[in-house]
Amino acid sequence: MRIWLTGGDLLAVSWTTGFSTPDGFNSVFLWSPNYKALLSMCKQTSDKKPTFSVRLVRADAGSDGQRIDNFLIRECKGVPKSHLYKAIRSGQVRVNKGRVQAEYRVKDGDEIRIPPLRVATPDENRVVPAGQFPIVFEDDALIVIDKPSGVAVHGGSGVSFGVIEQMRAARPEARFLELAHRLDKETSGLLMIAKKRAALVALHGMFKESRGRKCYLALVEGDWVNDRQHIRLPLEKYLTRDGERRVRVRPDGKVAHTIVSKEARFGRYTLVKAELRTGRTHQIRVHLAASGFPIVGDEKYGNDETRIAFARQGFARMFLHAHTLEIPHPVTQEPLSLTAPLPEVCRQLLDRLAVRR
């Protein structure tokens, strides 16, 4: 039985009988000259968005190798991505009864606990605009785009949508589109998107085994002396007091290896090439900053005075660009050698610095 009391002369009682009225509840007695107000109030309570109850899902072979966040996006249609990422971070999502991070790769046979999740309201479920990005390479299995700086690769954590959502909106006929790896929002350059599950699994295997070469161009503060230097500093993710996610060097962190080569000197700055041998979050940025050579324009790990000075001159981004990629094709195994040229704004900055030296 339910009782509503909203004023001196408005009282209603309802209970379940197995029969339903057109107004959305079962049996109601009203004591009020204004019974429509009560009907309206009851309708509002019944119009709340539904939630998914707790579910236990068994991953199959088709999900093997997929990131847990992408697995949840597929399983929980209509749930805002921000809610999914919050559920992962808070530990409500469990795999084999244990907590995982968003980067966890699902394995065939995993038991995944999905907590109650609210479906998006009309305001949250905004239409994602179709996005067109420069295509560097495309065939039946793979797309490689030249991602601009300032665009997230996917939605979540305060970002409504990113590259992958915009690509899906632009290609509604595509049955499968998944990110093969990540780039930071501020980083530009080569980004791989798998068009087939087999291609995605193959690419993940290649990255895990460090097959292929991914090289970035970065402009750093300082005079980089060594022509070629290996940086091996273990990295750890952590949260600041403000809740910002960052990465730092820690002896007990995850193994991280970057090879840095000098490309050109520009007075107080050096253009370097950074080759990833592992793929940790913010790896190049933290390795260079920890070595005393922060990347120009890096808001998290760089020099704020330098960043602001360059922004006033029209360079309002981080100078980190995914420049070249050499890797076997995930299906044919033919060698792929791809290049994304430096963005015009980066070339213009180098030209200005070259004149000054």
Q: Which residues are catalytic?
A: 184
Question: Can you tell me the distance from the alpha carbon of 339 to that of 14, in angstroms, rounded to the nearest whole number?
Answer: 68
Integer Cα distance of 258 and 261 in angstroms: 10
Residue 352 in tokens: 């200005």
Give the C-alpha separation, 349 to 331, whole Å: 39
Q: Which two tokens stand for residue 80?
A: 């805002």
Q: Is the distance from CB of 224 to CB of 250 less than 8 angstroms? A: no
Radius of gyration from C-alpha coordinates of the chain: 26
Question: Strand 2-7's sheet: what is its strand order?
Answer: 2-7, 10-15, 27-31
Distances (CA, A) of 262 to 32, 105, 126, 222, 274: 82, 35, 45, 12, 9
